[in-house]
Amino acid sequence: MKSYILMTPGPVPLPQEVLNNMALPMEHHRTPEFIALWNRALGHLKRVFQTEQNVFIHTSTGSGGMESALVNVLSPGDRVIAVVSGKFGERWADMAETFGANVTRIEVPWGKAVKVSAIEDALRDAPETIAVLCQACETSTGVLHPIREIARTVSQSKALFLVDGITALGALPLPMDDWGIDVLVGGSQKAFMLPAGLSFISFSKKAWTRVEKAKCPRYYFDIRKEKAANDNGESYFSSAVTHVRALDLVLNIFLSQGLERVYARIQTLSKATLLAATEMGIGVFPEAPSPSLSALVIPEGIDGQKVRTDMERIDTVIVMGGQDQLKGKIIRIGHMGAIHDEDLLRTLRSFASSLNRLKPGTVPEDRIFAALKKATEVLRESPLVAMKAPLA
Amino acid sequence: MKSYILMTPGPVPLPQEVLNNMALPMEHHRTPEFIALWNRALGHLKRVFQTEQNVFIHTSTGSGGMESALVNVLSPGDRVIAVVSGKFGERWADMAETFGANVTRIEVPWGKAVKVSAIEDALRDAPETIAVLCQACETSTGVLHPIREIARTVSQSKALFLVDGITALGALPLPMDDWGIDVLVGGSQKAFMLPAGLSFISFSKKAWTRVEKAKCPRYYFDIRKEKAANDNGESYFSSAVTHVRALDLVLNIFLSQGLERVYARIQTLSKATLLAATEMGIGVFPEAPSPSLSALVIPEGIDGQKVRTDMERIDTVIVMGGQDQLKGKIIRIGHMGAIHDEDLLRTLRSFASSLNRLKPGTVPEDRIFAALKKATEVLRESPLVAMKAPLA
């Protein structure tokens, strides 16, 4: 069996400590021991969200968290403004329509960041707007939207600002309270270094005033039920014990190492990748790259789907290609999870080699070496965060 | 750290092979290797459901599967008949109301099985009924409802028969096609011997005719999206890779050992428990006990909550007490998962000892020994199924 390295923007490689934790014997979620762990994890999540509000856990993928954000604050007929700059923006807008919202889409060319003025204009045109939806990082293009600036604009209206932070929370600072984000969603299989299976969500005070008014039918994602149970120290539904225990471990790692160091490491992996790409003459796809992943442009005349397959087959490196309109046009390299320096260097080397295998001479040898040298220098700035939690 | 044994009716003790599997390195859910595994697991699930229809996987707890069953076939205003014989019957009826159904509740005293004639009567009174809801096993009381007979009745109406098989599928035969069940729901943390995090669902041909007509808004649980993705060999949302890989392993165990042997083992644990209880003069709570768990009556004058805590504290055995109106009145012992003979014997011994600690003389010593002897004899009939899958 080949030893693949996973360099995708979710799921991400898990620290060995986390994998070991997943193999602990099952325990019941209503025991005092688990309840103590559950409450500690919820408390620590608040520090990642940088909020005084409760953070809630759903047993779902990130998309379930996105649905929770909508159904807990919206009523059918509500006006919603959705930033659509990629696949996940489309999904959230579609979801809002499914639940009866009147959705105004701000279509942003894939790879571009939304202009704050576009949101100002949309809010001026529709002052009745109840919610503005935006990805912090749109995973399909790797772009980072100006969340802080959008939040400032939205906060001056009656609308709530709903942020999909799935590919951002834990990878970069997204201080919910300080910036004035009203609903913030995270997912386990990204910077939280867990398998898919949990989503995280928090609601601002302004958002809570909508929760009771919202008329979207909801049960599994009804945050009022979850809040009542959490206030009582428990989860409403059965807990995904294995995931929650591993989450607690990861949060212990984050907080013992310091979130700033976690962010710095991801930033460093991003910087090394982008500098190396430039050195190799490879374009960076998004205009404002998120540190959580790098989307690189496949040079003309090469099919990016073949590059992805080739990297996997020859070099056992797993990256992601583009989706939908970007199919074959970009590759996406993740920077979240337990990524060692060598993993990134191997990925960059594999990418260049693959381009050369498919179209000889695409990246001259000396530029590959120069790129790897530059990446190595950058990586020294911020070594891999120790992936062990201190003894409890 | 004490070595607790988990004897609850979900979550259940996981086989060591499953725990080891959970610790395998992360992989991406869009790779050919994972897609092959995903499709094999879906195929094997059909054999547990005993259906020719597709079985779908949601990343959710069992309650998410219960919501999926409703939102995929109902429209607001639809008439629904719900069997309410415990906490999970209440939950499903509440859920249906949340999504706008007009719910007729057939209230059954907790511990009793619903009478088929009650469903016949309700259907006669409301021939416009779109769906009849019933738990196969109501986990809060341990009762097994006459699903086969109810299915026969419902199939003669235009209504669909929706069955919550969460504490039944994999523990006892529930042949969906043969019995005429229209929507069948399962959950990972029961007989499937996995952590909570996945639900399983299948729809009969009759149910599929409703899926397109159903007007309940749905996205995360929209089975049409999932079907389109599965038809294309993939999942619609990110897969909970760790859970799905372990599911594949468990299904390999089930099918290599034979489902009949898996059912026989659970039946044997149930029989041993019930005979031992009777021998000790302990009442069996439900009139028609499900083999998946045994709910035993706490003798007069003893607080069942103290029994549960005492068993945990002194004997490190985890069982569940009663919920809501049964709080303190019963204990529930699970028979699903990797349960060794000694685990059950230790649980029975602990239960009796605990009763005697709390109220001396409740179970005379000679009756404890007679009960354990009887249980041991029964356990010989069907040893623990080998919890290893054959080499692939």
The span from the CA of B107 to the CA of B88, in Å, is: 12
**What contacts 24+ positions apart, CB below 8 Å, involve A89-95?**
A89/A133, A89/A134, A89/A135, A89/A138, A91/A63, A91/A66, A92/A66, A92/A133, A92/A135, A92/A164, A93/A133, A94/B219, A95/A63, A95/A66, A95/A67, A95/A70, A95/B219
Quick one: how many helices (H) and strands (E) in chain A?
14, 14
pTM for the full model?
Answer: 0.97
Closest-CA distance, B53 to chain A, in angstroms, reads 24
From chain A, pick out residues whose CB is under 8 angstroms from the CB of B24: 19
Tens digits of residue pLDDT in B128-138 = 999 999 999 99
Q: What is the mean pLDDT of residues B168-194?
A: 98
B185 forms bridges with which residues in the sheet?
B164, B201
Res B387 pLDDT > 80: no
Model confidence at A1, pLDDT cuts 50, 70, 90, reads very low
Tens digits of residue pLDDT in A202-227 = 999 999 999 999 999 999 999 999 99
Q: Do B23 and A25 touch (CB under 8 A)?
A: no
From chain B, pick out residues whose CB is under 8 angstroms from the CB of A219: 63, 67, 94-95, 98-99
Q: Decide the pairing of beta strands A198-203 and A55-59.
A: antiparallel
Query: Which stretch of DSSP H or E encloses residue B275?
Result: helix B259-279
Query: How many CB contacts within 8 angstroms connect chain A with chain B?
Result: 159
The span from the CA of A165 to the CA of A49, in Å, is: 10
pLDDT at A383: 80
- DSSP assignment, residue B26? P
The three-state secondary structure class of B338 is coil
Tens digits of residue pLDDT in A41-57 = 999 999 999 999 999 99
Mutation target to probe the A interface, by most A beta carbons within 10 A, among B18, B59, B185, B311 is B59
Model confidence at B390, pLDDT cuts 50, 70, 90, reads low
Nearest chain A residue to B6, by CA? A27
Nearest chain A residue to B31, by CA? A318
Q: Do B61 and A59 touch (CB under 8 A)?
A: yes
Nearest C-alpha neighbor of B111 from the set B313, B333, B376, B325 = B325
Tens digits of residue pLDDT in A126-170 = 999 999 999 999 999 999 999 999 999 999 999 999 999 999 999
Tens digits of residue pLDDT in A350-390 = 999 999 999 999 999 999 999 999 999 999 988 877 777 66
pLDDT at B145: 98
Tens digits of residue pLDDT in B202-221 = 999 999 999 999 999 999 99
pLDDT at B1: 47
Q: Do A28 and B22 touch (CB under 8 A)?
A: no
Sheet holding B55-59, edge to edge: B55-59, B198-203, B183-187, B160-164, B131-135, B79-84, B102-107
Res B359 pLDDT > 50: yes
The span from the CA of B330 to the CA of B285, in Å, is: 7
Residues 6+ apart with CB under 8 A from A373: none
Is residue A191 within 8 A of residue A292, CB to CB? The reply is yes
Tens digits of residue pLDDT in B92-105 = 999 999 999 999 99
Nearest chain B residue to A65, by CA? B220
The span from the CA of A275 to the CA of A342, in Å, is: 16
Q: Nearest Cβ partner of A67 from B24, B95, B220?
A: B220
Nearest chain B residue to A92, by CA? B219
Mutation target to probe the A interface, by most A beta carbons within 10 A, among B242, B243, B250, B323 is B242
Tens digits of residue pLDDT in A268-290 = 999 999 999 999 999 999 999 99
From chain B, pick out residues whose CB is under 8 angstroms from the CB of A242: 22, 195, 197, 242
The span from the CA of B358 to the CA of B204, in Å, is: 51
Closest-CA distance, B62 to chain A, in angstroms, reads 8
Q: Do A238 and B196 touch (CB under 8 A)?
A: yes
Tens digits of residue pLDDT in B280-329 = 999 999 999 999 999 999 999 999 999 999 999 999 999 999 999 999 99
| Alpha-carbon distances of B68 from A269, B61, B137, rounded to whole Å | 40, 11, 19
pLDDT at B391: 54
B297 forms bridges with which residues in the sheet?
B330
Six token digits for residue A127:
């002052």
**Model ipTM value:** 0.97
Q: Nearest Cβ partner of B220 from A26, A28, A63?
A: A63
From chain A, pick out residues whose CB is under 8 angstroms from the CB of B14: 25-26
Q: Do B196 and A25 touch (CB under 8 A)?
A: no
Closest-CA distance, B366 to chain A, in angstroms, reads 32
Residues 6+ apart with CB under 8 A from A177: A50, A51, A52, A53, A204
pLDDT at A388: 73
Q: Nearest Cβ partner of B195 from A26, A95, A220?
A: A26
Q: Nearest Cβ partner of A4 from B27, B237, B239?
A: B27
From chain B, pick out residues whose CB is under 8 angstroms from the CB of A62: 238
Q: Backbone dihedral region of A197: left (phi > 0), alpha (psi from -120 to 50 degrees) or beta? A: left
For the four alpha carbons of B22, B28, B32 and B38, in that order, the dihedral sign comes to positive
B340: exposed, middle or buried (Cβ count in 10 Å: 0-12, 13-18, 19+): middle
From chain A, pick out residues whose CB is under 8 angstroms from the CB of B10: 238
The span from the CA of A97 to the CA of A84, in Å, is: 13
pLDDT at A5: 94
Q: Nearest Cβ partner of A59 from B28, B29, B197?
A: B197
From chain A, pick out residues whose CB is under 8 angstroms from the CB of B60: 59-60, 64, 220
- Where are the strands (E) in chain B, listed by range? 5-6, 55-59, 79-84, 102-107, 131-135, 137-138, 143-144, 160-164, 183-187, 198-203, 293-297, 317-318, 320-321, 330-334
Q: Nearest Cβ partner of A26 from B11, B95, B99?
A: B11
Q: Nearest Cβ partner of A242 from B20, B195, B216?
A: B195
From chain B, pick out residues whose CB is under 8 angstroms from the CB of A13: 25-26
Q: Do A217 and B219 touch (CB under 8 A)?
A: no
Backbone angles phi, psi at B165, to 5 degrees: -100, 25
In whole numbers, what is the pLDDT of chain B averaged over residues?
A: 96
pLDDT at B2: 59
Q: What is the mean pLDDT of residues B346-360?
A: 98
Backbone angles phi, psi at A9, to 5 degrees: -80, 50
pLDDT at B283: 98
Closest-CA distance, B26 to chain A, in angstroms, reads 6
Tens digits of residue pLDDT in B6-33 = 999 999 999 999 999 999 999 999 888 8
Sheet holding A183-187, edge to edge: A55-59, A198-203, A183-187, A160-164, A131-135, A79-84, A102-107
Q: Give residue for tokens 């096609």.
A: B177
Tens digits of residue pLDDT in B212-260 = 999 999 999 999 999 999 999 999 999 999 999 999 999 999 999 999 9
Nearest chain B residue to A220, by CA? B64
